[in-house]
Amino acid sequence: MRSALSLFARTLHSSRRKRLHAPRQCHHQGASGSTTSTTSPALQMIRGLFVEALGGDPGVHSARYAGRDGDDVANRKHLLDSLASHPEPWRAYFECVIVLIDSQGEQHHFVGHVAGRIIDHEEGTEGFGYDSLFVPEDFDKTFAMMSPQEKNAISHRTRAVDQLRTYLTQHSL
């Protein structure tokens, strides 16, 4: 995200550095779980894969869905194992919420969303995480089958960062 915002002559601090805590649910609580007050702007990025058949899991816990020591391969296997008893299609969406906490402590939310479906086998070698299992709406291939440029043009992160970028060009922090 830092490279996406590099055109701005602003100093932004990450939520990790400010010790802000990720909320339990993606933008429903925003950064209200934050316990640290800040006098300079801070960013928090919350993202995940939400699968309808699993009640929204893995959600904001996508990176560690198979457990703390799980990697991308283990996470994908756990996802497919979890879906095995559910009928297809497996509707899902990636969501990224960027929370900007300005110098007055006001929260501003920027939401990027990509709807699609999970397939029952991996396809493609590009990307990471769940990319080889996720087919976005209006496409017939997984994120992992797309070039980085093609994926980034429709990604949930890009959509959220674009909204943040627009906000930052129109407002002073």
Report angle CA 171, 152, 108 to the nearest 5 degrees. 25
13-170: what CATH class? alpha beta
Per-residue pLDDT at 19? 41
Tokens of 158: 């890009």
Q: CA nearest 150: which of 131, 173, 129? A: 131
Q: Whole-prediction pTM value?
A: 0.80
**DSSP secondary structure, 42-70, as one string:** EEEEEEEEEEGGGTT-EETTGGGTT-TT-
Q: How far is 144 from 125, CA to CA, in rounded Å?
A: 5
How much is the average pLDDT of 112-116?
98
pLDDT band for 153, please (50, 70, 90 cuts): very high
Q: Using one digit for the tens of pLDDT, what is the confidence trace for 56-79?
A: 999 999 999 999 888 999 999 999
Residue 8 has pLDDT above 70, yes or no: no
Nearest CA to 57 out of 30, 75, 31, 35 is that of 75
Per-residue pLDDT, 2: 54
